[in-house]
Chain A
Amino acid sequence: MEYRTVFHKKLQEIQDDVTRMGGLVGDAIQSSVDALTGQDLDLANRIVEGDKRINQLRFDIEEKCVQLIATQQPIASDLRNLVAVLNIITEMERIGDYAVGIGKITVMIGHEPPLKPLVDIPRMAVQTVDMLRRSLDAFIAGDADSAQRITLEDDIVDDLYEKVFKELLGIMMKDGETVTRATRLIWVAHDLERSADRVTNICERVVFVVTGKMEEI
């Protein structure tokens, strides 16, 4: 017999909110790079504006967690779950900020002629958003193995970052006129690289929920 149905229903609601926030953050990252490649300043501005919603959702979820901890005395995996949520939403909120950063860079350089067709930066975005989505699936499913595997994919994003960095450095060395635009694109790549790192942190939290072990992966 299940004795704490009310508590577990509320925990489920919080998990649903986390998934929803993940969807918004993933969309923000993807859209920010779409805006950059398509030089779509309107879309870039909408991403900057839309971050308020993500921030609010983060505070709403945090408030729910605090109230649930205060009223339901969660223990064991329930407690780890809520602690993980508090960490995961912080990581996601920062990924949302990276999307804002990319949006602002698009606004800054979007009216200038593109340096080159962007290939690897969109790849980084697709990879990062996919990792984020699967990390949250692993969280909801309590799947530590999947979470561990996702962390390995951070290397793909790191390698792409290295590639983009070297390529843009080469462009800058050839033509001093490109320095400003190329530097900003490096920032974009760096934002995406950091986003993937934060997904890795989310995966560490998933492992913590399932195994109780806190470790850097």
Chain B
Amino acid sequence: MDERTSPGQKDFTIGTEGVSLYYGAFRALRDVTLEIQPRSITAIIGPSGCGKSTLLRLFNRMNDLIPGVRVEGKVLVDGASVYDRDTDVVALRKRVGMVFQKPNLFPSSVRDNLVVGPRQHGLKNEAQLSEIVERSLRQVALWDEVKDQLKRPAQSLSVGQQQRLCIARTLTVEPEVILMDESCSALDPESTLRIEELMHDLARTYTILTVTHNMEQAARVSDMSAFLMMDEDRAGTLVEYAPTGEIFSNPKDKRTEAYITGRFG
């Protein structure tokens, strides 16, 4: 286990403290406390409906879009509580980028997709924007494939390329945290492995949280794994959170063992 994956090495700056989330009267998450290791990959795993995506969406307040949502407890990003009343949600989403299950590019060119974020945050200088385009495409290993076709419609790229472009678009505004919600589930095996390679590279700089149904992928790609499941009231609770090597070779909780070995879920 290398240093960046050892718990307790750094101050706790990203994570949750006693978080419960309600959709109206229904409690979707119960008392989740999770200390995320900066600059590492944390996988959130668990059966369908256990609140994985809900937990992920706490970090950039994407749950706000759902009517009747209420959050108790603390969600911290870079030490700041994101549900404080004075939180600038636009600034938060700049710091906490998100990549979804399917590529969600704008119906415009490769370049336009990449400059939209920085422009929205006030950058007008075309030379600087071009630099950002090149840098972000290089970061996702897409530059060599599209450098001569930056005006090409983004949606004409292969799905795997589109998903890497989505990651590049996230990087254009220099986030600290990247949330990935089933970001490989629509991809073929080769594209999936390319994204996994990319995640490892990005985790040197960024903190990555990923939700996946793909147990093998969680095992391969992450440093830490958080296993969630529903309690008797169908609220998602954190059962076990540990280095991925431990979770997948010798989980402490019998429920984790049962889930990862396919005995329930």
Q: Which residues of A contact B (CB under 8 A)?
A: 1, 3-7, 66-67, 69-73
Per the bound structure, the CA–CA distance linking A66 and B193 in Å amounts to: 22
- Using Cβ atoms and an 8 Å threshold, which residues of chain B touch A3? 190, 193-194, 196-197
Per the bound structure, the CA–CA distance linking A7 and B249 in Å amounts to: 16
- Using Cβ atoms and an 8 Å threshold, which residues of chain A touch B197? 3-6
Per the bound structure, the CA–CA distance linking A6 and B4 in Å amounts to: 15
* Contact across chains for B220 and A72 when beta carbons are under 8 A apart: yes
B148 within 8 A of A: no
Closest B residue to A71 using CB positions: B219
- Using Cβ atoms and an 8 Å threshold, which residues of chain B touch A69? 249
* Contact across chains for A73 and B216 when beta carbons are under 8 A apart: yes
Closest B residue to A68 using CB positions: B245
The listed residue (A1, A66, A73) touching B220 by CB distance below 8 A is A73
Given contacts A71-B220, A73-B216, 15 further A-B contacts (CB under 8 A): A1-B194, A3-B193, A3-B194, A3-B197, A4-B197, A67-B248, A67-B249, A70-B245, A70-B249, A71-B244, A71-B245, A71-B249, A72-B220, A73-B219, A73-B220
For the complex formed, measure the closest distance between the CB of A164 and the CB atoms of chain B, giving whole angstroms. Answer: 45
For the complex formed, measure the closest distance between the CB of B259 and the CB atoms of chain A, giving whole angstroms. Answer: 14
Per the bound structure, the CA–CA distance linking A77 and B246 in Å amounts to: 24
* Contact across chains for A6 and B245 when beta carbons are under 8 A apart: no
For the complex formed, measure the closest distance between the CB of A148 and the CB atoms of chain B, giving whole angstroms. Answer: 34
- Using Cβ atoms and an 8 Å threshold, which residues of chain B touch A5? 197, 200
Per the bound structure, the CA–CA distance linking A92 and B216 in Å amounts to: 32
Per the bound structure, the CA–CA distance linking A72 and B193 in Å amounts to: 12
For the complex formed, measure the closest distance between the CB of B190 and the CB atoms of chain A, giving whole angstroms. Answer: 7
* Contact across chains for A4 and B193 when beta carbons are under 8 A apart: yes
Q: Is the interface of A mostly helix, strand, loop or mixed?
A: helix
For the complex formed, measure the closest distance between the CB of A66 and the CB atoms of chain B, giving whole angstroms. Answer: 5
Give the 5 A-B CB pairs with smallest separation, nearest first.
A67-B245, A3-B193, A70-B249, A71-B219, A70-B248
For the complex formed, measure the closest distance between the CB of A158 and the CB atoms of chain B, giving whole angstroms. Answer: 40
- Using Cβ atoms and an 8 Å threshold, which residues of chain B touch A67? 245-246, 248-249
A-B pairs with beta carbons under 8 Å apart, 28 shown? A1-B194, A3-B190, A3-B193, A3-B196, A3-B197, A4-B197, A6-B197, A6-B200, A6-B220, A7-B220, A66-B249, A67-B246, A67-B248, A67-B249, A69-B249, A70-B219, A70-B245, A70-B248, A70-B249, A71-B219, A71-B220, A71-B244, A71-B245, A71-B248, A71-B249, A72-B219, A73-B219, A73-B220
Per the bound structure, the CA–CA distance linking A70 and B256 in Å amounts to: 14
For the complex formed, measure the closest distance between the CB of A171 and the CB atoms of chain B, giving whole angstroms. Answer: 53
- Using Cβ atoms and an 8 Å threshold, which residues of chain B touch A73? 216, 219-220
Interface string of B215-236 (1 = CB under 8 A from A): 0100110000000000000000
- Using Cβ atoms and an 8 Å threshold, which residues of chain A touch B249? 66-67, 69-71
- Using Cβ atoms and an 8 Å threshold, which residues of chain A touch B193? 3-4
Per the bound structure, the CA–CA distance linking A1 and B201 in Å amounts to: 15
Closest A residue to B141 using CB positions: A1
- Using Cβ atoms and an 8 Å threshold, which residues of chain A touch B219? 70-73
Closest A residue to B189 using CB positions: A3
Per the bound structure, the CA–CA distance linking A67 and B193 in Å amounts to: 20
Per the bound structure, the CA–CA distance linking A213 and B248 in Å amounts to: 29
Per the bound structure, the CA–CA distance linking A70 and B219 in Å amounts to: 7
For the complex formed, measure the closest distance between the CB of A175 and the CB atoms of chain B, giving whole angstroms. Answer: 58
- Using Cβ atoms and an 8 Å threshold, which residues of chain B touch A1? 194
Per the bound structure, the CA–CA distance linking A144 and B246 in Å amounts to: 34
For the complex formed, measure the closest distance between the CB of A60 and the CB atoms of chain B, giving whole angstroms. Answer: 11
Closest A residue to B222 using CB positions: A71
Per the bound structure, the CA–CA distance linking A3 and B200 in Å amounts to: 11
For the complex formed, measure the closest distance between the CB of B240 and the CB atoms of chain A, giving whole angstroms. Answer: 15
Closest A residue to B1 using CB positions: A67
For the complex formed, measure the closest distance between the CB of B248 and the CB atoms of chain A, giving whole angstroms. Answer: 4
Per the bound structure, the CA–CA distance linking A3 and B219 in Å amounts to: 15
Closest A residue to B220 using CB positions: A72
For B193, B244, B248, the residue with the greatest tally of chain A CB atoms inside 10 Å of its CB is: B248
- Using Cβ atoms and an 8 Å threshold, which residues of chain A touch B196? 3
Per the bound structure, the CA–CA distance linking A73 and B189 in Å amounts to: 14
Per the bound structure, the CA–CA distance linking A67 and B222 in Å amounts to: 13
- Using Cβ atoms and an 8 Å threshold, which residues of chain A touch B246? 67
